[in-house]
Every structure is written in C-alpha cells, then in structure tokens.
Amino acid sequence: MTQNSSDTLSTVSQPLTHLDAQGQAQMVDVSAKAQTVRQAIAVGQVRMLPETFAAIVAGNAPKGDVLGTAKLAGIMAAKQTAQLIPLCHPLPLQKVEVELIPDPALPGYRIQAIVKTKAETGVEMEALTAVSVAALTLYDMAKALEKSMQIENIHLLSKTGGKSGDYYSEDSARLYPF
C-alpha cells in the first residue's frame, strides 16, 4: 500500500491508539506485532543570510565545526527519541544517517535523516527528531553569526515497512531531489 499526503484525512477518522477507554494517554501495545524492517526519511532546512552561509562553508564559524557537530547531534537525538517524546517506544536502531547538504539557492542547508530498524513499530519519530535536533544544533553553532536563521519545512519524506504500508510525501521529488 502506498500512501501520500492526500490520504491523510482518511486516516484521521480512525480510533486514537494513544488513548485508553477513559481518554487517558497510553503507550500502544505492540507486543503482538511482527518485527519487520522499517525505514523513515525525514527532511528539513535551515535558511540563513548569504554571509552566514559563506562563513559556514568556509569553516569560519566562531564555535567551530558547525556541520560535524549538527550531524552528530542529529544521530544522538534519534537514539534518544523515546526519552524526548513521551509515548514513543524505545527502538533498537540499526542505521541513523544524517546529511547536511549546502544549498546556495536557499541560502542555507537542507537536512536529511534516514533511520532504519527491525522492530514492531516504525521510526518516523526518530527520523523527525534527528532532523529537528540537527537543525537546532546548526542554529546554535552559528547564532553568533546570525540570530535570524529560520528552521523550516521539517517533515516526513517517506516511510517503508509495517502494517500501514509505505508512504511517500507528494513533494519528495520536487523539494528534495537528493
């Protein structure tokens, strides 16, 4: 099953799995689900002034290695998602890859995280967390150069595996052709 963003409204009417019969928050029981290979790709971007972009590309940021630090922060964040998002399951992650791609047209950086596991539930939140924290870290590392940087457009690009099938964002090829 392939799902795109136009299918989103049809899934909203399904029962809310994170609420019990009394309407209280609960962690979903996934113990009866089979372990399958699951992968999620999330993306986002950090927009900045051309001068800030040039300084980061040249390695002239006051705090040091902006991109290396942001990449490492994104990887570490994916591994901590269950500690940050209350109802997420702790998952054994087999792959976390974070890329920061310079884009002079923004100007700024596009961020992509790929997270993969073999588990009973998916890794969408881990991929989104990796992108979010990588973007926040890039901001933190470069804020001495510019405080008006904008973190934008963080979203799930695709997910594969699991009972609900595969999902590909309608804008995936147009906005993120890498």
The 10s digit of each residue's pLDDT in 121-156 is 889 999 999 999 999 999 999 999 999 999 999 999
What gap in Å lies between CA 93 and CA 128, rounded to an integer? 14
- Return mean pLDDT, the chain: 87
User: Which strand ranges, in their side-by-side order, compose the sheet holding 2-3?
Assistant: 2-3, 166-168, 150-160, 36-47, 108-119, 93-103
Residue 126 labelled as part of a binding site: yes
Percent of the chain with pLDDT over 70: 78
Q: Is 170 or 60 the better-scoring residue by pLDDT?
A: 60
Q: Which of 65, 103, 140, 171 is catalytic?
A: 140
Mean pLDDT, residues 12-32: 64
- 99-120 pLDDT, tens digit per residue, is 999 999 999 999 999 999 999 8
39 pLDDT exceeds 60? yes
Of the candidates 133, 127, 140, the one whose C-alpha atom is nearest the C-alpha of residue 93 is: 127
Q: Which domains does the chain have, with CATH numbers?
A: 36-175 (3.30.70.640)
Higher model confidence: residue 15 or residue 92? 92
Whose tokens are 């971007």? That residue is 45
Is-catalytic flag, 140? yes
88 and 117 Cβ atoms separated by less than 8 Å = no
Query: Residue 135: helix, strand or coil by DSSP?
Result: helix
Q: What are phi and psi for residue 75, nearest 5 degrees? A: -65, -45
Confidence of residue 87 (pLDDT cuts 50, 70, 90): confident
**Residue 20 DSSP label:** -
- pLDDT at position 8: 47
Per the annotation, does 141 bind a ligand?
Answer: no
- Is 155 annotated as a binding-site member? no
- The 10s digit of each residue's pLDDT in 8-17 is 444 455 665 6
